[in-house]
């Protein structure tokens, strides 16, 4: 197979497609006790909770196991989307499921909406750290920093280094955004 790039690409594409389909099948067919009991997204979340200004969905689960299983689904989907083969043009299913940010915000929403000490599985914490740099709004960042603080207080997992690195990334992004805004104003 190493001498035939098209065969290698075809194998890689079919392997990726199999993993994606299997992951989506799990999500669509998951048992009732693993499904969320509340799933509120967008403007509806703001209407239900006026203090909810982070734009994360409200996703509530009955058990920590269900919560972590769904967070792992979203992380696997996000990783698969990040490494989607170039030759793959479109994916079947709802558009939201094929959105990188939908999965990232779902992970953040799961963390922000639930408050069980048992939910802070290391895989879930790692998933939250992975998606955190994608959160560009200050209200989202504040929610995540509060969650990281809660993780440390609840589990003893020290996240100072990680949160400092995140804040540096967020501050740099804000600085670049302000610089771009100033440059645009000078041009106008």
DSSP 49-85: -TT--S---EEE-SSHHHHHHHHHHHHHHHHHHHT--
Measured distance CA(128)–CA(48) in Å, rounded: 24
What's the structural domain count of the chain? 1
Tell me the residue length of the chain: 188
SS3 120: coil
Domain of 132, in residue numbers: 5-187
Per-residue confidence (pLDDT) for residue 183, from 0 to 100: 66
Enter the pTM of the model. Answer: 0.86
Query: What's phi and psi for 39, nearest 5 deg?
Result: -140, 100
Tell me the pLDDT tens digit for each residue of 6-33: 656 677 888 999 999 999 999 999 999 9
Tell me the pLDDT tens digit for each residue of 65-104: 999 999 999 999 999 999 999 888 888 888 999 999 999 9
Measured distance CA(20)–CA(25) in Å, rounded: 9
| Mean pLDDT confidence for 155-160 | 97
């Amino acid at each position: 197979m190493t001498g035939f790039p098209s065969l290698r690409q075809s194998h890689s594409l079919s392997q990726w497609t199999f993993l994606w389909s299997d992951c989506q099948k799990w999500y669509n067919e998951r048992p009732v006790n693993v499904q969320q009991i509340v799933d509120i997204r967008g403007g509806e979340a703001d209407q239900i909770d006026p203090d909810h200004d982070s734009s994360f969905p409200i996703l509530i689960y009955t058990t920590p196991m269900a919560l972590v299983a769904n967070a792992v689904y979203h992380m696997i989907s996000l990783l698969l989307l990040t490494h989607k083969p170039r030759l793959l043009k479109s994916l079947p299913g709802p558009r939201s499921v094929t959105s990188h940010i939908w999965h990232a915000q779902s992970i953040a929403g799961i963390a922000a909406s639930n408050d069980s000490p048992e939910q802070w599985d290391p895989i879930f914490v790692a998933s939250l750290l992975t998606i955190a740099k994608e959160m560009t709004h200050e209200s989202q960042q504040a929610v995540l920093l509060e969650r990281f603080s809660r993780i440390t207080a609840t589990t003893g997992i020290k996240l100072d280094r990680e949160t400092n690195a995140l804040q540096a990334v967020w501050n740099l992004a804000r600085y670049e955004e302000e610089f771009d805004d100033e440059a645009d104003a000078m041009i106008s």
